[in-house]
A and B are shown apart, each in its own frame.
Chain A
Amino acid sequence: DVKVTQSSRYLVKRTGEKVFLECVQDMDHENMFWYRQDPGLGLRLIYFSYDVKMKEKGDIPEGYSVSREKKERFSLILESASTNQTSMYLCASSLWLQPQHFGDGTRLSIL
């Protein structure tokens, strides 16, 4: 079974902090994704990566950056956290053109 592991289930940070969300997958998938999910808005793609050191903007990249130094790890960075970034963050991975597999999610609260 594919295992996608997110570093924290719950996280509380303060406005202005730099926040790191980590995601690791164990199935050698080339594709990795970061989403946020908010009530009434569904899943929205923030960034994705097709390969090591490659990244592509999704639909809502503002205020975020990503890092993919190793194939199995994809990090999401909130450069200066703001209250409107309070959300559920979901990481996913996949092979090319195959369904995505999700981690458990991180509920992030920015105070």
Chain B
Amino acid sequence: RKEVEQDPGPFNVPEGATVAFNCTYSNSASQSFFWYRQDCRKEPKLLMSVYSSGNEDGRFTAQLNRASQYISLLIRDSKLSDSATYLCVVNPSGSRLTFGEGTQLTVNP
């Protein structure tokens, strides 16, 4: 079983749509959680950290369910510029991070 599993997609949605990405992780001792965004042929960039209480940053909402070992990212009112690959990232120990393979999103006009 992979340490971090994501639906690879691709997701194709129209502008203005709401889209949700899900992720599960296997190590129950994992300490911190993040969503990264990666544009084509670019480096991954931190989108947001994920907290147990859930957190929101503008159109983006992240949720964490430690009991189910499940993380989600919700994007509301999708923009063309949201087209990218979204990486679910888990910190199993120390400062190591384990990356999911990513979910590809294309927002269409």
A-side residues, CB < 8 A to B, are 31, 40-43, 45, 48, 50, 58, 90, 94-105
Contact = CB atoms under 8 A, between A and B. Distances in A.
A18 to B, nearest CB: 25
Q: A-side binding surface: helix, strand, loop or mixed? A: loop
9 contacts: A41-B101, A42-B87, A42-B101, A43-B44, A48-B96, A95-B95, A99-B46, A99-B49, A104-B42
Given A31-B95, A94-B95, A96-B95, A101 B46 contact: yes
Contacts of B60: none
B45 interface: yes
Q: Chain B interface: which size bin?
A: 10 to 19
* Majority-rule SS of B interface residues: strand
A100 B32 CA distance: 12
B108 interface: no
Nearest to A59: B98
Interface string B66-102: 0000000000000000000001000100111101111
B57 interface: no
Given A42-B99, A45-B96, A98-B95, 14 more contacts: A40-B101, A42-B102, A48-B95, A48-B96, A50-B95, A96-B94, A97-B32, A97-B94, A100-B46, A100-B95, A102-B43, A102-B45, A104-B43, A105-B43
B43 A103 contact: yes
Contacts of A45: 96
